[in-house]
Amino acid sequence: MTDALVQPISLARRPRIREALIQGFLSLCGALSILTTIGIVYELGKESLGFFGSGPEQASLGEFLSGTEWSPHIGKFGILPLLNATLMTSFSAMLLALPLGLSVAIYLSEYASDRARSILKPILEVLAGIPTVVYGYFALTFMTPLLRAIFGKGVVEIYNTGSAGLVIGILILPLVTSMSEDALNAVPRSLREGAYALGATRLETAVKIVVPAALSGIAAAFIVAISRAVGETMVVAIAAGAGPALTLNPFKAAETMTGHIVRISGGDLSYDSIDYNSIFAVGLMLFAITLALNILSRRIVSRFREVYE
């Protein structure tokens, strides 16, 4: 009688419609992101074809990469002045953002109390939410006068790459801090406890145990921040300068690649002119730099990544 009431258990696979819908939606999002990237590369490449060539109003690839003057309207196609200014502002930003961001991340992860963390985290989030155009005018009206007061008005020009770079460093500081803190928090607690058991101080544990264990995540945070600094537009457009200049002096005015795109695209340009096509050539160069940084980031993560059980 009891055996008759027992229902057999079906081991057949049952359809899971909700999971299938979620998986399909996520796949669609991934496909759209890939197609968007392909579309951007296609448009940049197509529009740049009118810039590169052997004609009298076209640039050769060699001249584009090695020339020291940038004035497409008079046949000067060297991108080095724009590239140099971009790297200078990014370098200034990294000098501020990387050590300060990592230090703040170590403090939040290893030292800060819950109260201190509840105060500092919202402040960093506020920095991340400020519009970049506000940062640009902050660089022009505060950072530049501050540098001129320190180094002298005859040394620091009103428009300069140094003040723009330092403010970009403030802009990307929340990015460095947040990603580095996530990497530090991912380190197992057992490593810290083992270091404390061996007599290590909290500083020694943080610097010699936790940071090396989180090196892959920290390196990825640094490279993502560098990519963000290279692609920053409004700060350099407002504070760095509006004319290409090949200089290593951070207190001089110089135009970056993104600043050049803003200045030229805001003018009255005819379609298919050499100045119009130069915008896409510069954009393609920016895309190549960002792509190279992302590839480097993936290699670093895979090289230094540590897996714990």
- pLDDT classification of 171: cutoffs 50, 70, 90: very high
- The total of structural domains in the chain comes to 2
Do 289 and 143 lie in one domain? The reply is yes
- pLDDT classification of 12: cutoffs 50, 70, 90: low
pLDDT at 67 over 90: no
What are the tens digits of pLDDT across the range 235-251?
Answer: 998 998 888 888 888 89
Query: What is the C-alpha to C-alpha distance for residues 253 and 163, in angstroms, rounded to an integer?
Result: 10
SS3 12: coil
Span 150-177, average pLDDT: 91
Tell which wins on pLDDT, 66 or 55.
Answer: 66
Q: Which two tokens stand for residue 278?
A: 């130069």
174: in domain? yes
Query: What is the C-alpha to C-alpha distance for residues 284 and 261, in angstroms, rounded to an integer?
Result: 11
For strands 70-71 and 76-77, give the pairing.
antiparallel
pLDDT at 305 over 70: no
> What pLDDT, on a 0 to 100 scale, did the predictor assign at position 145?
92
pLDDT at 2 over 60: no
Quote the domain boundaries for residue 274.
61-304
Do 80 and 145 lie in one domain? The reply is yes
Do 69 and 197 lie in one domain? The reply is yes
126: in domain? yes
3-state secondary structure 181-243: HHHHHCCCHHHHHHHHHCCCCHHHHHHHHHHHHCHHHHHHHHHHHHHHHHCCCHHHHHHCCCC
What are the tens digits of pLDDT across the range 251-296?
Answer: 999 999 998 888 887 766 666 677 778 888 888 888 888 888 888 8
Q: Which two tokens stand for residue 270?
A: 């005819």
Q: Residue 42 carries which side chain, given as an amino acid letter?
A: Y
Do 193 and 255 lie in one domain? The reply is yes
238, HSE (Cβ side, Cα atoms, 13 Å): 21
94: in domain? yes
239: in domain? yes
Partner residues linked to 148 by β-bridges = none
Report the predicted TM-score, pTM, of the whole model to 2 decimal places. Answer: 0.85
pLDDT at 52 over 90: no
- pLDDT classification of 220: cutoffs 50, 70, 90: confident
Residues in the chain: 309
Span 167-189, average pLDDT: 90
Do 30 and 154 lie in one domain? The reply is no
